[in-house]
Chain A
Amino acid sequence: MNDIAVSIKNLNKSFFIADNKKDTLRSLVVSLFNQGKSKPFHALKNIHLDIKKGEFIGIIGRNGSGKSTLLKVIAGIYSPDKGGEVTVNGRMVPFLELGVGFNPELSGRENIFLNGAILGLTTKEIKKRYNDIVEFSELGDFIHTPVKNYSSGMKVRLAFSIAIQTDADIYILDEILGVGDGAFRSKSIGVINKLIEQGKTVIYVSHSLGSVQKYCNRVVWLNQGEVIFDGDTRTGIDQYRQSLLEIEKLQKAEEEKYDRVDNDIVVSKVRAEIIKDYDLSIRAAIQNKKLVQNYNLKFSLTRDDDLLIYETTSNFSNISNLVECDSVYLTLKNLNLSEGDYYVDVAVLDENNDKVLFMDKRSTVFHIERSEVDNKDRGLLTLDKSWDIQKYISKN
């Protein structure tokens, strides 16, 4: 029991959204005569979560899925509905936003004391950490000028520097990793990594699946206020990506009034998986309803900005043993792409490759991850490299 940092039991949270706000006398009087009952909106439904000490837990989900509400309940800003229970062991610092209560008219120094106090520090503690904060923020003499004269980057740097000095056991981060420029970002990520090494608990909400995948060792996926996945980061994110894609496709289908039933041949259940870092395995199911004799398959890889990376068409001749269902596998070797999200488009062509029998864009998505070292390199590809420097020896 002692290794639990945050324990959430039977958590429900509903808000009452009144049709007309009764915050002025007039609307109050009007509402007395016109009693419309406000409908409850269930932002969180029956959530059970035990977050262990030392866990770096990522919370993902679409907009409006309840992520922020969950964080606010954990942070103690909202209280749970009756029957729910949230227990927090240890000192918690919420960073739902960086620089809460920053006063633009005050200097950076004064804001350190103000923000530090808001985040739960005492004057003594702030004084002790003051130099570290200033040093980490790289603000130098700017610390004595009013914050209103800071660039947004400087403001973020100062806020982050105070935040990490709060010495809490549990950190709640809402989209605040990777702030600032490249150099500051890697510095702040270094600090977060140190926090994890020290066994601090981090609850992290982000839309950037890449960073969730990189840092979190557990992921919770919220959908319409319910936990629909809780466990391994990789599996969770893959499932989440897939569902995003399906939603996108549904929307597209609706827009185009695209009806698949008419197709003689349909490719479905397309899945792509990276194996051994550089190989890609694609599999798909083919439903050959009309038992089309000869057909070819076309797979295309695109980056998330629609850049075509590779396209290949099969050259099947005389597919024997015609059945209604087939499985197809395609393996691509040495796919040395850079880190990012990639999509697979699929199409079925007739035997002469000139008539499209079926087409589906963005059938599946896969994510390529590269190590930190390779990450500093940029471009479409991640290439094997070796540097060599030779001394030029002057003839004189």
Chain B
Amino acid sequence: MIKTRNSFTLLKELIKTSFKMRYQNSVLGVLWVLIKPYATFIVLFLIWSRIRQNDDVEFFSLYLLTGIIFYTYITEMVTLGMMSLLDKAGIILKVNFPRQIAVIASQFNALINLVINMLLIVIFILANNIQVTLGGLAYFIFLTISAFIACLGISFFFSIVSIRFRDLKNIVDLGFFLLYWLTPIFFTLSSFPLGSGGVMSYILKYNPVGILINQVRAALGVYGTIDVEKGIIFFLGSLIIFILGWSFFNKRIKRVAEYF
């Protein structure tokens, strides 16, 4: 059908435009995609490589880098997705194009940033002489896609809610700021005495972003072991979030133009 083909064109053009716009008129341009996580990495590395003790991390630089890059990936997907309809208000009020495209395009922009950042990870993997197995690579792709599906579902939900409820952006920003400290990005779960129980240990243990990041590390042979069961539960959870977000979006989108 013509309509689906146009949707692809539109998706392509929207991704292209926002990619171009993001680093328009900046001297370093696309390099900024690398600079931000890498600068965070350097600071955390300098501090934590001295403080950390008694952990079982062999490749700390890669442990840290994968944590930072995947956490950034999740944050970008959700924040860009949340603002995707509001940012396109001017077009939405004038042309009836499939609104889903605007949300999906924002997710691809985050994915592109992840792919660029993966180059750094590849360099570190080669430098540390880590052997990534074919199965590990497949598991890594499976995890990345699962995360994409989950964030897309959340974005579908948030993009609608944020139109009427503008506080959402601040709430999400705060949420991600707090989650940062509850996710094993620079520390390991094993360095905490989890056996004591309590709310904190519970959150640390079942934080889905933490589970994702640790499985990614395992898939790349950086740290820990692959637990396919966790991966599959994560994927199924992502699928449920996606279906919920998608149906919420489709129910509300028809009237969305009235609320801008």
Contacts and interface: CB of A to CB of B under 8 A. Distances in A.
Q: Do chains A and B interact in one complex? A: yes
Interface of A: 15, 22-25, 28, 72, 75-79, 94, 96-97, 100-101, 103, 105-106, 110, 113-114, 116-123, 126
Main secondary structure of the interface of A (DSSP, over half): loop
A73 B6 CA distance: 22
Nearest to A98: B94
B36 interface: no
Nearest to B255: A79
Contact of A94 (B9, B16, B94): B94
A78 B97 CA distance: 12
Contacts of A110: 17, 20
Main secondary structure of the interface of B (DSSP, over half): helix
Given A72-B257, A97-B94, A121-B6, A23 B166 contact: yes
B123 interface: no
Nearest to A119: B95
A122 B2 contact: yes
Contact of B92 (A77, A94, A105): A77
A24 B258 contact: no
Nearest to B4: A122
A94 B97 CA distance: 11
A122 B13 contact: no
B164 A100 contact: no
A87 to B, nearest CB: 15
Given A24-B167, A76-B96, A120 B6 contact: yes
Contacts of A25: 165, 167
B145 interface: no
A22 B164 contact: yes
B94 A114 contact: no
Interface of B: 2-3, 5-6, 8-10, 12-14, 16-17, 20-21, 24-25, 88, 90-97, 164-167, 254-255, 257-258
22 contacts: A22-B164, A72-B93, A77-B92, A77-B95, A79-B255, A94-B96, A97-B94, A100-B91, A101-B88, A101-B91, A103-B17, A103-B21, A105-B21, A105-B24, A105-B25, A114-B16, A118-B95, A118-B97, A119-B95, A120-B3, A121-B6, A123-B12
A114 B17 contact: yes
A201 to B, nearest CB: 17
Contacts of A119: 95
B90 A122 contact: no
Nearest to A93: B95
Contacts of A106: 17, 20
Contacts of B13: 113-114, 117-118
Contacts of B166: 23-24
B9 A123 contact: yes
A77 B10 CA distance: 17
